[in-house]
Amino acid sequence: MSLKLPQAPNSGLFKNGYSSYSNADGAIIRNVEAVREIASILLTSMGPSGRNKIIVNKLGKKFITNDAATMLNELEVVHPVVKILILASKQQEFEMGDNTNLVIILAGEFLNVAEKLLILGLNVSDIIQGFSLANKFLKETLEKLVVDKVESYENDLLKAIKPVIAAKQYGVEDIISKLVVDAVKTIINPKNPLSFNVDNIRVVKIMGSALSQSQVVKGMVFPREPEGSVKNIKNSKVVVFTCPIDISTTETKGTVLLHNAQEMLDFSKGEEEQLEQMCKEINDSGVKVVVAGANVGELALHYLNKFGILVLRVPSKFDLRRICQVCGATPLPRLGAPMADEMGYIDIIETKEIGGDRVTIFRQDESTSRTATIVIRGATQNNLDDIERAIDDGVSAIKGLVKDNRLLPGAGAVEIELMKRITQYGETTPGLLQLAIKNFAKAFEVIPRVLAETSGFDTSEVLSKLHAAHSEDDGLKYGLDIDSGDVSETGVYDILATKQSAIDLAVEATNTILSIDQIIMAKRAGGPVMPQQPRPGNWDQDD
């Protein structure tokens, strides 16, 4: 009788190279550990006193930031379960533009409490059901915790935007918030706020000087100067070309035989006349500004200068599209005089020098412009990049605000209140679900705890003060003052729509991860590794 060797499980089922992790091997616990790892990276970067991380990507580019979306974008995560969580975070960034780290941190904390319940012997389905019930109750509760509203987009925007920017750039939030509010006021239509588009606010970074020298320009700013000799112009029609402004070249090559000097002089005259005629037609149509999306030939530039036409080259397709939006022009793929409905109009185009850089400014003098540009100044490129991310978050917060203008108390106040109310709800729920609901409530304590930790205060003391304040009837607005460490009415607000979206996505991702009991991974695609070539030389030669 032959000896039969034991084989690996599923060895005959899958192709070679597959790896399988089942619940019996502790797949759920391992998934929780992987999520805990990514959550711990982002945890210390939360809040106004959050620490920065240096991330060097595969191209060697350095990022110094505490912005969760940027970090997750640059980290190359391979764990399939963590990728689920990152997708939820990216969805939050896409929908609301802020609170991306809240999704990861809350999901990490939900999974931590779920792990303890699993060790106690609770079933996964009980935990998922309990979390879903608690989330349903949470949605109803958040509606009751509203303490303020943004009534006017003219005056009240600052109180909603300032906390968002302070979380990224604490200390200079007043300057940045004012820039964002000024830019938003320029383009938002108070009668129809839903028409607000975040793409209509641009950021131009110019090195040098200080943040206090930053400004908002009604219109667009390009960090380059016009091509020709005309640099400034007022009240002019604009034409936008997406094709090169030059003599068109033929598809085939040819040879021209010239017999004398006269023939050489006459050779290019026809082309020159044609180009001059085209520039004359553009001038006769009343256009004094030409925006080119591609190259501008030297000869064409000569004739455009001759007619006193300002020429600006804009290589970016996105910027070209925005110019058309600002001026009301149609991008033309053909050279020649534009028709009346294809031309745009601009009030002022001027060339300025900002910190040694020459910039071209397209400015509309109307009461409302379609585009606003924030010109930010700073000492280092990393600093400018981080300020730009803070501005993006501030502008994106308006997106959530126009959908729902209600505000919740911030600085950890809403989390402590939710913890109190969900725990009370858990007490009234019969059976094992009670354990899941009460532990779900515990997870919210992570937010005020991190705020206290990063601000340098004793977490136990701060949390006990917060719980004591919220046990009173009028304690709803009481949060952590990160400057003094006191628990008081901070005047910090969170946007309801953003907070609710982040919690929803965190609960959804948590339930998805908990319901995974097996991971089956195929070997990564790719050709076989080539064997190492033998080195030249004799077989017994020393290396």
Q: 125 with 231, same domain?
A: no
Instruction: Give the domain range for residue 104.
Output: 18-147+409-522
Residue 66 within a domain: yes
CATH number of the domain encompassing residue 103: 1.10.560.10
- CATH code, domain with 283: 3.50.7.10
pLDDT digits (tens), the chain, 543 positions:
455 544 455 556 666 666 666 665 566 777 778 788 888 888 888 777 778 788 887 788 888 877 777 787 777 777 778 888 888 888 887 777 777 888 888 888 888 888 888 887 778 788 888 888 888 888 888 888 777 777 776 667 777 788 788 877 777 878 888 888 888 877 777 677 677 777 778 888 888 777 887 888 777 787 777 777 777 777 778 888 877 776 665 556 777 777 777 777 776 676 677 777 777 777 777 777 888 877 777 777 777 777 777 888 877 777 787 777 777 777 777 777 777 777 777 777 778 777 777 778 777 766 555 778 888 888 888 788 888 888 888 888 887 787 777 888 877 788 888 888 888 887 887 777 788 888 888 888 888 888 888 877 777 888 888 878 877 767 777 777 777 777 777 777 788 888 888 888 888 888 888 777 776 777 766 655 555 555 555 555 554
Same domain, 34 and 132: yes
Q: Is residue 188 part of a domain?
A: no
CA 298 to chain centre: 40
Split into its structural domains, the chain has a count of 2
Token pair belonging to 325: 């939006």
**Pick from 368, 392, 427: which residue ends a domain?**
368
Asked whether the beta carbons of 501 and 492 are under 8 A apart, the reply is: no
Identify whether the C-beta of residue 158 lies closer than 8 Å to the C-beta of residue 180: no
In a domain, 183, yes or no: no
Residues 6+ apart with CB under 8 A from 122: 432, 435, 436
Q: Do 413 and 363 reside in the same domain of the chain?
A: no
**376 Cβ partners below 8 Å, 6+ apart?**
179, 203, 204, 205, 206, 211, 214, 384, 387, 388, 391
Let me know if 131 is exposed, middle or buried by CB neighbors in 10 A (0-12, 13-18, 19+): buried
Q: Are residues 340 and 265 both part of a single domain?
A: yes
Closest CA to 271 of 243, 248, 303: 248
Whether residues 315 and 419 fall in one domain:
no
Beta bridge partners of 217: 373
Of 341, 368, 395, the position where a domain reaches its end is 368
